[in-house]
Chain A
């Protein structure tokens, strides 16, 4: 698999992971889990706006918001995640998606291959069950973005 269909930021993250040994990859995932931003206050008060990804082994909630970009024309999508600190693997992957996809357009987000999590080189260290949770997280984002995009056009 190659990274050439990935948005630039995500491709860079994938390259970073692939350049590392397995223990270092886990360490990097841990850093992403620490880097996952807190929810903004408007969402903290409104848990009903967040949707649970039931396929994840640990509780993970996410939502998206549309945002008009500075150029005035294109619509970008902001991504928001909530996962407990005792689920660092889930948080780590949410962190990867946040850094790699936050603010991008629908077509950029929808171009990410569904099996992108496998590009991180964690399939030996992380159980298949958890890998599927990661794939489900990406799938959920893409479905939500696709639905919002259809409403827009």
Chain B
């Protein structure tokens, strides 16, 4: 870890406090001259492709999940060469401390952080509360787009297995805990897309058998920051019924909302083996002969799944 880890009472209770920074911490770091030294790079990653341009944290660069992190042709993430080119262009080196923030309680920021983790970027952190908290606190914004000196980023092969689950992995995982982070309407199969979002073309509605329904936003407080360790434990150990040491798979619709939950389970509660199923419902709800449960009950693992 190349940049000092923030110490505060809330973060100290989390399993990996080094994965979060507060708005106060970031403001102090910026006043202290970062990120001009290139050791700390602040990245904004939003759902809305134009939001960064309306004003962002001074010195922050933009990474767009759709145009920068997704492969243009295959439904996959960019490869090592494209990631290295992207990181370098944004002034990020392999040993940089990267702090990511974004709109909607860091929903897309967590997704970007997850993709950075696929490439094994060691020191990548979330700004707790994200863009909304920074703005709510009246902190500085600018429309000036930085022109960072290119970083030195090697071509690293993506290592998906530890944190990414594919459909076959999920089938093999059945019987172990799953967290469905979509809205209750999507979980029960009443609808196949987010409330107030357009239809996204899943042919079947419902959830993966035995998945617990914990909508992602329940892990976030009113101000967009993560809930305290106690609150998260009540949610995931209590309500979802996870136990220490469990292997967990989280999913949503395309893997973005579940990245937020993945972060909470892995870094805040310290589950070692948590994977994000990015194929999620847009794959599962269209796949042939995979088991689906409709309604509010979690359901049971079908006997004949191979």
A residues neighboring B (CB under 8 Å): 26-27, 29-30, 33, 54-59, 85-90, 92, 124-127, 129-130, 132-133, 136
Closest 9 CB pairs of A and B: A88-B50, A55-B198, A132-B198, A89-B50, A127-B66, A89-B48, A30-B50, A30-B53, A54-B196
Contacts A30-B53, A125-B67, A127-B66 given: A86-B198 contact, CB under 8 Å?
A: no
The reply to whether B197 and A125 form a contact with Cβ atoms under 8 Å apart is no
Give B45-98 interface residues, CB cut-off 8 Å to A: 47-51, 53-54, 66-67, 72
The reply to whether B48 and A86 form a contact with Cβ atoms under 8 Å apart is yes
User: Inside 8 A of B50's CB, which chain A residues have their CB?
Assistant: 26, 29-30, 33, 88-89, 92
User: Inside 8 A of A90's CB, which chain B residues have their CB?
Assistant: 48
Q: Mark B168-198, 1 if CB is under 8 A from A, else 0.
A: 0000000000000000000000000000111
The reply to whether A27 and B67 form a contact with Cβ atoms under 8 Å apart is no
Chain B binding surface SS class: loop
User: Is B103 part of the contact surface with A, judged by Cβ < 8 Å?
Assistant: yes
Number of chain B interface residues as a range: 10 to 19
- 27 examples of A-B residue contacts, CB within 8 angstroms: A26-B49, A26-B50, A27-B53, A30-B50, A33-B50, A33-B54, A56-B196, A57-B47, A57-B196, A57-B198, A58-B48, A59-B196, A85-B54, A86-B48, A87-B48, A87-B51, A88-B48, A88-B50, A88-B54, A89-B48, A125-B66, A125-B67, A126-B49, A127-B49, A129-B198, A130-B49, A132-B198
User: Is B157 part of the contact surface with A, judged by Cβ < 8 Å?
Assistant: no
The reply to whether A136 and B49 form a contact with Cβ atoms under 8 Å apart is no
User: Inside 8 A of A133's CB, which chain B residues have their CB?
Assistant: 198
User: Is B239 part of the contact surface with A, judged by Cβ < 8 Å?
Assistant: no
Q: How far is A87 from B54 in the complex, measured between Cα atoms in Å? A: 10
Q: Mark B29-57, 1 if CB is under 8 A from A, else 0.
A: 00000000000000000011111011000
